[in-house]
Amino acid sequence: MGFFRKEITLTTSKSLKELATEFENFLVGQGWKTQSNISDTGAIIQARKGGILRDIVAADRALTFTFQSAGDGMVKVNVGIGKLLQNIAVTAVEVLLLSDLFLFVDVPEMLFTEHVEKELLNQLRAMAV
């Protein structure tokens, strides 16, 4: 596991498809924009928060959750930030060329993502029970 990527294995009585669908519905209910591909054997959910500054500064940054079966009653979940390296480079250019506003908004948002990942994984753990 790295700073910008987390992996957990959940013990659950739910099917992978049920768990992933319930989690996506939770995200949508919390104001996340999602896109997904969910099947019985695996799932991918991309989620991002909307907003004017987010749409301008880092429109293509999203949390990506992948679900894989890990045996009977076990689901492996990976979460990470999509296109992180590109956004770090974009932020550097924005700061140099445009204004301090992008640094004020973008860098704290990238660091806050670590906190958000932990909270969402905790919610997923609670759903798996």
What pLDDT, on a 0 to 100 scale, did the predictor assign at position 110? Answer: 56
> Which residue carries 């009585």 as its tokens?
13
The number of distinct structural domains making up the chain is 1
Supply the CATH number for residue 120's domain: 3.30.310
Among 118, 121, 128, 126, which Cα is nearest to 11's?
Answer: 128
Range of the domain at 66: 5-128
pTM for this prediction: 0.70
pLDDT per position as a tens digit, 88-126: 455 445 444 445 544 454 555 555 567 688 888 889 999
